[in-house]
Structure 1
C-alpha cells in the first residue's frame, strides 16, 4: 500500500463502499418511513370502524370475556393486525393472545391521543408485545351510552407474525442484496478509480517525463523543468520545489566552479609569492657556499635570513586564512581604546619602517573608545601597514588618522583611514577588493587570489567584525583604506 496506485484504489473503494452503505441506509429509512406512512394512512379509521361495528365495543365495554370472540372475528382481517382494549390510563384490558406474550401491561396514551387528534403521520406507539420497539397503529375512543370515554381500541398494524415473516424474507434476500452491493460498488470503485487515476496522475506523469529530460541536460548550462503544471496545489508546489532545487544545484555548481578557479588562481599567486623569496634564499646561500672562505660576507646570510622570515610570515598567513575560512575564529567584542591599539601597532612596525626610511604618522583621539575585537582589528591594521611598508618607497609616509565622515557612505560615522604613498593597486585589484563594501559576510569561495594572502585575511576579518570599508588607490600614487568603526 505504499504506491500511489494502491492508495488511490483503496481510498476509492472505501469511499464508494461507505457511500453505498450510507445511501442504502437512507433508502431503507426512507422506504420504512413511506411504507409506515402509507399503511397508517390507509388504516387510519380502522379502529373507529371496528368500534362501531362490534356491539360491545360500541357500548364502551373494555373488559369482558365476550370481547375475545369479537377479537377473533377481527383477526380474520389478517395476522398482521393485533387488537387491544385499553382503559383511559393506557392499561391493557383485553387482548387476543397468551398472557405471557404481553411484555407491556401499561402503554403511553400520548401517541394515541396525537393519532386521534389527527397529527401528521406516521405516528408510532408502544407495542405491548415488545419492550424496545414501537409500531404504527390505529386507535379510537370507546364511549358508553352517555358519551363518556371508557378507554381505547388500539390496533397494531403489522404485528408479531408480520415481523416474523418479514425477518425471514429479509434473511433470505440479505445475501443477494449484500452481494449485489459489493459487486456493484467494486465495479463502480474501479471505474471511479480509473477516472481519478487518469486525471490525478496526469501531472505526475508529465513531471516524471520532464525529470527524465533533466538527466540529459548539462549541469554547466543549468538545470530546469520545461513546463508548468496545472494539477492540484500539491503538484504545483512540488514542481516549484523541484525547480528551486534544480536552480540551487545549478548555482552551487557555478559556485563550485568559481571556487575551484579562485583556488587555482590563488595557488598560482601563492606559488609566485613563495618562489621569489625561495629563489632569493637559495641563490644567496649557493653564492655564499661557492665563495672562498675568506671572501664570504655576512650580508649574503642576512639577505637569505630575511627571505626565510618572509616565507615564514607567508606560511603563517596561510594558516590564519585557513582558520578563518573554516570558522575557527570568533570575534570577542568589547570596549577598546583605539589610541592604545595604535600605539602598540606603531611600536611594532617602527624598527622596520625606520630601516627602510619610512615615516609612520598615527594620529587619533586618546579619549575615543570603540566597540570591537581588539585582537582581530589589530591583525587587520597589521596586514594593511605591512603591505604599505612593503610597497612604499624610501622616504614615504604611512598614516593612520580618524575621520568623521566618508564621502562614499550613506552613513556619517567614525572612520579610520590607513593611507600610504606607495605603488598603489591596479584597477582589477581595486575592483576585487571593493567587494568588501557590498558583502558584510564572506564565504569560502570569496577568495581574492590576485590580492595575495594578506589582503584576503583583511577581507575575512572585516567580515567577522561587521565593518564596512572603502578603498581609493591610484597606481604610482598610493592607496587609502577607510574602515568604519563602531563607536561606544
Structure 2
C-alpha cells in the first residue's frame, strides 16, 4: 500500500521549508521596520540638524546676550499651530526643563540627559543620536539642539524634539495600515516564490529516493516468500522515506542473515546426509560384493544349501539397497515439493484397518500383536496414498521396535479440528536426548543398531504429514515404549483454512 503523502520526506521538507520561510520572513519584516525607522530618524535629524540654531537666530530669541522670554513664548504658540510635529524645550545647563511648547499635562520628565546633547554638539554628523523624550519616562527620540544665548556663553539649551507626539500619532493613523499591507504583501509574495522554488528543488532532490521507496514497497507487496507477519509489520513503519528504507534495510539484513544461517545449516545437513548415505549404501554393497565373490571363488567347494544361502543373503542386501535408494528419492522429492498431495475426503478408520491387515503377517512372524482399541468415525481431507504411506512407516517402526510377545495398540479418535491416529508400542522407549531427533533423516541413537533400517521412514512420514496440513508427534519414556500421534484435519476445518488462505 502506498505511503501517505504526509509521511514522505518530500512533504516533511516542504513543511520545514514553509516554517523556515515564515520565520525568516517574520524576522526580515521586523528588521526591515526597525531599519526603516532608524533610517527615517537619521534622515530627519540630518535635515533638521540646524533647526534649533535657526529658530534662535530667525525669531530673535536672544537680545543683548539674554533670552527673550516673550519672543520664546510666541515661538511656542506659533509652532504649536503651524508645525505640531516638533516640540521645543528650553533647558538650563543641567538639563532641567525651564519652559516648553507642549501640553503641560503630558510632560513626564523634568530633566533631560545632557550626554546625547553633548555628543551631538561635539559631532553634528554622528546621527541618528536619540535623546530623552520629555513626554515619556523611557522613550527616546531624535532632536536638534543649540546652546543659548550663545555657544561662547551658554546658560542653557534650546532642545527641539523632531518627532513629537503629534507626529507619532499622525504617522500611526496614516501609515500603520499601509505599512502592514505593504509588508504583508511583500512577505506573502516572498513566501510564495520561495516556497514554490523550494518545492521544485526538493522534488528534484527527492525524486530518486521516492522511486527507490516505491520499488521497495512494490517488492514487499509482490514477494511471495515474505510472511504475513512481515507484511503487517512493514505497513505501519513510522517516519518518512528514509526511516522506511532504514527499517526495510534492517529487516532485509535480518532476513539475509537468517537465510545465510539456514544455508549453513542446510549445507551441514547436506554434508552429513552425503556421509550417512555413503555409509548406508556401502554396507549392503560390501555385503553383496563379499557374498558374490565368495560364491564365485568357492563355487565348487560349496554345497547347494550354502550356495542358496549365499544367494539369499545377497538378494536380501540387494532388496535393502533398492529400498534405501527408493526412500532417498522419495525424501528428496518431498523436500523439493515435487510430489504434491491430492486431498480427498475419506474415513481414516477404514484405511487403518486395511493397513493393519497388510502388516499383520509380518507382525505375527515377529511375535507382535496388532490391536485397534478405539475407533471414532470421522471424515478427514487428505491424500489417501500419502496417509497409507505414513501409517506403513509408523506401524512398521512400532513392530520393529517391539519385542516378541508385545502388543502394538492403535486407535482413531476425533481431535480438535481433526482426526488423530495413535500408534503405541511396548518397546524400550526413546531417551530424552534423542526424542527431538527421531524425525531427522538417518538419525540413529548412540549404541543402537539399525537392524536393516536407514532411518528415513519417520522423516518421510513427517514430510508427508506436513504436506497434508497435518502433523506427526511422539511421546516416550525410557522403558515404557513410544506413542506416535498422526493428526489430519477434518473436511470442514480444512475447507475453512483453505478459504482463509
How does the TM-score come out when normalised to structure 1? 0.49
